[in-house]
Chain A
Amino acid sequence: MNIVVCIKQVPDSAQIRVHPVTNTIMRQGVPTIINPYDLFSLEAALALRDMTGGTVTVLTMGPPMAEESLRKALGYGADRAVLLTDRFFAGSDTLATSYALSTAIAKLAEEAPIDMVFCGKQTIDGDTAQVGPGIACRLGLNQLTYVTAVDGLDAAAREITVQRRSEGGVQVLRTKLPVMVTMLEGSASIRRGTLPDLLRAARAPITVWNAAAAGIEDVQRCGLRGSPTVVKKVFAPKPRAEKAKLIDVKGRRDGEIAADTLAALFAALPKLEGDLARQAVQA
């Protein structure tokens, strides 16, 4: 199997803070990580490669510093890494991003056909879940999103069987390769890299492509120019006009605090007390 795994380097959003006075993002010093959802897909891809042979190529689009994430992925056991970086890509929305990534995947397929593309379910910075389906659509790959488990891969018949989370249950789906798969969190976690892989990752050459090298002929379809969506405004939400009404806690006895709280809740929600009482009687 020749597998491409698309990953993204993202700021560790748990550590992003908003400046209390200027209301702007304080990005300085925020560490970057591989988008956590991508790691479930990377693990699934590595496991399939281990089972059937072939290669796992990790692909990312981003600034030159995204090389760090690719090396991390090589350390987990990926065979090859490609960095797509060009100033033309700046400001890409999901449509422009899927265009650039799918063109690069098509370029990789010129060397050897690609059987599977894995993407993260979504990123933790954009949270759109749109790039994977966009790549599948552009490359004509059969699309399997929110996969909880790969039940089987028949390389000879070129068929894959998976379990997919849907709203009311789990779909068991079988489709033909080539496919685009996004894995749900809770599937197998990323392995620890072996020592040989970690050593290799530090020195392995990384393929760096600009737009032209990736086979992109029309840079108008990339970056801000190629993005149909426009961000018009970025802002912090307004606080509510009234702040929370505070219930006194300090230095008071538990019984008093509890009585005040119940009284305040029942005053705010007049029907609550009666409903809870009915529930209690029925219990």
Chain B
Amino acid sequence: MTDAPKAAAAGRAQMKTELPERFRDYKHVWVFIEMERGQVHPVSWELLGEGRKLADRLGVELAGALLGPAGPATEAAVREAVSYGADLVYLVEHPLLGDYRNQPYAEAMTALVNTYKPEILLLGATTLGRDLAGTVATTLATGLTADCTALAIDGEGSLAATRPTFGGTLLCTIHTLNFRPQMATVRPRVMAMPEAEPGRQGRVVRHAVDLEESRIVTKILDFIPDLSTNKVRLAYADIVVAGGLGLQKPENFRLITDLAEVLGAEYGCSRPLVQKGWVAAERQIGQTGKTIRPRLYIAAGISGAIQHRVGVEGADCILAINSDAGAPIFDFAHLGMVGDALTILPTLTEAFRRHLAVDRLAG
């Protein structure tokens, strides 16, 4: 990402450029299928849904690129990738690819790209995807756009990758004109989960790589899985209640957790509350925190800066509570209440509690 002066960037963008000869045979759209310890991260399926649209627009094939040890988990991942829209899967099977390490993964991905030459390569913006993408893009000396919120193909067949900029106050569209592949990462939940089509047919292209443990410098001493009870399931929650600076005091955040508890919801917050240390960073919602796509999102005392907006726009219904009628959150919320969150929140909590107590009696 550049902080380039806008005028200079525009000047360069208008330069008529022709793709160098060595990149002319780069074709097709690829999605990196992120499998770690036998588990595929759902962001890979979300990206296949998006990659399908790009490939159809370009009239090319959509491929998954999968690295992993041979076995049932890898076979299942290949089938799933095809069911989510891949026409083919490039598969590198090797026992050393079960756990993620930068060096063998980067070697295998770079080899795949150099051999089969995709024009577009998408990866999830996870800890794995970001670690890998930075190395692969630097090795290939190509452009990489992080954390995109929209992907499109422009009139000249180039990838237009849109992402928030200036700390999430504006959006910008970035192109990689003269280099291939055009690389981009997208955060989990930014794109919708596509429908799986279980019987769909696809091809598998196996590619062998030469990896040896003795050549891999970094050793894995242990893996400590997160306890499922401690996991914050914010990104995949059905209902989310979140608070912002409008709560005024850290102790008022209890009003958010109270409502969340009654609704069986996850709770979150806007960026300033994390910066002030009121709430843990893993609860932050927005471009630099978690992106959510719940059925219902209740935002109390959150003004709705772009950095927050891009993290919640996928919600089916957004209810905003804010004392400032001019707050930007009312521009994208579906339902709004102009008033004091500190009095409205307990009112709603109580109303839901009563409503559900009646259900419990009836049930």
Q: Are A130 and B220 in contact (CB under 8 A)?
A: no
Interface residues of B in 315-357 (CB under 8 A from A): 316-320, 329-339, 343-344, 347-348, 350-352, 355-357
Task: Give the complex CA separation of A264 and B134 in angstroms.
Answer: 46
Whether B168 is near chain A, meaning CB under 8 Å from some CB there, is: yes
> Chain B contacts of A227 at CB under 8 A?
2, 4, 143
Stretch of A64-72, A120-128, A210-218 on the interface side = A120-128
Interface residues of B in 170-213 (CB under 8 A from A): 170-179
> Chain A contacts of B172 at CB under 8 A?
231-235
Task: Give the complex CA separation of A236 and B350 in angstroms.
Answer: 38
Interface residues of A in 13-28 (CB under 8 A from B): 13-14, 16-18, 23, 25
**Candidates B130, B330, B352; contact of A145 at CB < 8 Å:** B130
> Chain B contacts of A230 at CB under 8 A?
9, 12-13, 174-177
- When A142-B217, A247-B335, A265-B335 are in contact, do A233 and B142 touch as well, CB less than 8 Å? no
Whether B128 is near chain A, meaning CB under 8 Å from some CB there, is: yes
Q: Are B166 and A166 in contact (CB under 8 A)?
A: no
Interface residues of B in 143-186 (CB under 8 A from A): 143-147, 160, 164-179
Please give the distance in Å from B170's CB to the nearest CB on chain A.
6
Task: Give the complex CA separation of A131 and B223 in angstroms.
Answer: 27
Contact pattern, B 251-293, Cβ under 8 Å of A = 1, otherwise 0? 0000000000001100000011001000001000001100000
Q: Are B223 and A262 in contact (CB under 8 A)?
A: no
Whether A32 is near chain B, meaning CB under 8 Å from some CB there, is: no
Q: Is the interface of A mostly helix, strand, loop or mixed?
A: mixed
> Chain A contacts of B141 at CB under 8 A?
95, 228
Whether A239 is near chain B, meaning CB under 8 Å from some CB there, is: yes
What total of chain A residues lie within 8 Å of the partner, measured CB to CB?
92
Interface residues of A in 133-147 (CB under 8 A from B): 133-134, 136-138, 142-146
> Chain A contacts of B287 at CB under 8 A?
127
Whether B133 is near chain A, meaning CB under 8 Å from some CB there, is: yes
Whether B363 is near chain A, meaning CB under 8 Å from some CB there, is: yes
Q: State the 6 A-B residue pairs at the shortest beta-carbon distance, nearest first.
A: A13-B167, A133-B134, A281-B363, A244-B336, A258-B351, A91-B4
Q: List 29 A-B contacts (CB under 8 A).
A: A11-B166, A16-B166, A90-B4, A91-B3, A127-B164, A131-B134, A133-B131, A145-B127, A165-B127, A167-B36, A168-B225, A172-B221, A174-B221, A228-B177, A230-B12, A230-B174, A231-B2, A231-B6, A254-B347, A255-B351, A265-B296, A265-B335, A268-B334, A269-B295, A269-B317, A276-B263, A276-B355, A280-B356, A281-B360
Query: What residues make up the interface of B, taking CB atoms closer than 8 Å to A?
Result: 1-6, 8-10, 12-13, 36-37, 39, 41, 99-103, 106, 126-128, 130-131, 133-135, 137-139, 141-147, 160, 164-179, 217-226, 238, 263-264, 271-272, 275, 281, 287-288, 295-296, 306-307, 309, 316-320, 329-339, 343-344, 347-348, 350-352, 355-357, 359-360, 363
